[in-house]
Amino acid sequence: MAEYFPGPGRNHLFVPGPTNIPERVMQAMSRQNEDHRSPAFPVFSKGLVEDTKRIFKSTKGTCFIIPTTGSGGWECALTNTLSPGDKILTYRLGQFSALWIDRMRRLNFQPDVVELQWGTGVDLQQFRLKLATDRTHLYKAVCVVHNETSTAVTNDIAGMRRVMDTLGHPALLLVDAVSSIGGLDFRMDEWGVDVALTGSQKALSMPCGLGIVCASPKAIEASKSAKSLRCFFDWADYLKSYKSGAWWPYTPAIQLLYGLRAALDMIFEEGLDNVIARHRRLGEATRLAVKAWGLKLCTTNPAWYSDTVTSVMVPPHVDSGKVVKLAWKKYNLSLGIGLGDLAGKAFRIGHIGHLNELQLLGALAGVELVLNEVGVQVPVGSGVVAAGSHLSKSTPLIVSRL
């Protein structure tokens, strides 16, 4: 095998994506190619494109399932709705919002960037003040990450929409929901989100390779006049194929689509709100563990706590990279490194996707050991006890096993 020998036992995958793929999704994807132009494939495709909206809690939106990544999704959202030179109000609050802003600039938009301290989220009051200054509605879009994966900050999208409505601001609301959709509560229609996007390798627990973008009717309307160049990511090509019944403007990623079908079915069977509740439970348990260890969360305020990832600050005398490296080398535990400004200062525990209580407790037990082994003295067991006690109280019986 030309392959790295992976160590005994299972890899404990606790990065905030890519996530653990359920067996059923793997089975669904272990399949031959087929002719996507056969009469069968459109039948399958139609149902899939339609059902994908449900994880966005949208009935009015239109989904585009694109062979790309979240980064491609960013580009897709921007270029389909905006024209070169358009002003965008946006926030830099971590590595991924920073990268998105970089894309905005390179794609010739004019992002007006509000710098936030990493670990904080959008302050609605300040957002209101900022937006109110834009009397002539120069901002064509407000772009925000729902869940900033590098700092574990979840922004209040519903609140931002309320501010925009209060001010009667017509800007589009574009949301990076990469590490949120399918894990955090997200309500496309109710919150008035215009474009939301995610990737297959996050809460959907699939392999990487699909960027999934959902557009509101208003966004679709905007795309008709948006002047940005786009081909591969052009909604118009997709919409034409939807209309013609071909469903795909180019050869789709067949296996990933069957994987998505299985992933959706599993989410619907568990119940989307149960899935969200499970993420909330695991997120809270993780934060309780961090507090029990006496360590600081990167996220400064409970209002912004993320239920899909926790970013943990290590004491100044320790390099957080050492935590991540030792976890991988000794315990086959994959943690997220500190990104950007947080490099060396924080590590991250992803608790997103197809995951349950004891998987998390095993990982937390591992983090405890590793912390002590690299010189961060935390009471061994304290995190597991804090997390476990919470889970013991909050975990329901598995519905199918009653």
Q: Answer yes or no: is 348 a known binding residue.
A: yes
Number of residues that bind a copy of itself (CB under 8 A): 119
Containing 142, the helix (H) or strand (E) segment is strand 139-145
Q: Are the beta carbons of 314 and 295 closer than 8 angstroms?
A: yes
Q: Per-residue string for binding with a copy of itself, 245-284, x by CB under 8 A? A: ----xxxxxxxx-x--x---x---xx----x--x------
83 contacts a copy of itself (rule: CB under 8 A): no
C-beta closer to a copy of itself: residue 225 or 231: 231
Q: Are the beta carbons of 128 and 163 closer than 8 angstroms?
A: yes
Binding test (CB under 8 A) with a copy of itself, winner from 54, 103, 128, 322: 103
C-beta closer to a copy of itself: residue 18 or 94: 18
Strand partners of residue 115 = 92
Q: Are the beta carbons of 70 and 235 closer than 8 angstroms?
A: no
C-beta closer to a copy of itself: residue 11 or 166: 11
Show Cβ contacts of residue 365 under 8 Å, excluding neighbours closer than 6 positions. Answer: 383, 384
Query: Among residue numbers 196 through 235, which ones bind a copy of itself (CB under 8 A)?
Result: 199, 201, 207-209, 229-234
d(CA 305, CA 356): 19
52 contacts a copy of itself (rule: CB under 8 A): no
Q: Are the beta carbons of 175 and 195 closer than 8 angstroms?
A: yes
Show Cβ contacts of residue 351 under 8 Å, excluding neighbours closer than 6 positions. Answer: 14, 279, 282, 283, 286, 307, 308, 309, 310, 360
C-beta closer to a copy of itself: residue 189 or 232: 232
C-beta closer to a copy of itself: residue 128 or 325: 325
Name the minimum Å distance from CB 172 to a copy of itself: 19
For 284, phi and psi rounded to 5 degrees? -60, -40
C-beta closer to a copy of itself: residue 4 or 302: 4
C-beta closer to a copy of itself: residue 37 or 224: 37
Containing 179, the helix (H) or strand (E) segment is none
Query: Among residue numbers 154 through 173, which ones bind a copy of itself (CB under 8 A)?
Result: none
* Letter string b/e over residues 245-255, b meaning 16 or more CB atoms within 10 A of that residue's CB: eebbbeebbbb
Query: Among residue numbers 7 through 46, which ones bind a copy of itself (CB under 8 A)?
Result: 7-13, 15, 17-21, 23, 26-40, 43-44
Query: Among residue numbers 321 through 380, which ones bind a copy of itself (CB under 8 A)?
Result: 325, 328-334, 336-337, 354-363, 365-366, 368-369, 372-373, 380
Name the minimum Å distance from CB 95 to a copy of itself: 12
Name the minimum Å distance from CB 158 to a copy of itself: 26
Residue spans of beta strands (DSSP E) within 9-68: 12-14, 62-66
d(CA 297, CA 346): 9
Name the minimum Å distance from CB 77 to a copy of itself: 12
Name the minimum Å distance from CB 163 to a copy of itself: 29
Q: Residue holding tokens 């009717």?
A: 217
400 contacts a copy of itself (rule: CB under 8 A): yes
C-beta closer to a copy of itself: residue 110 or 300: 110
- Residue 55 gets which letter from DSSP? G
Q: Ramachandran region of residue 7, left (φ > 0), alpha (ψ -120 to 50) or beta?
A: left
Q: Are the beta carbons of 282 and 388 closer than 8 angstroms?
A: no
Name the minimum Å distance from CB 190 to a copy of itself: 25
298 contacts a copy of itself (rule: CB under 8 A): no
Binding residues for substrate: 348
Binding residues: 348
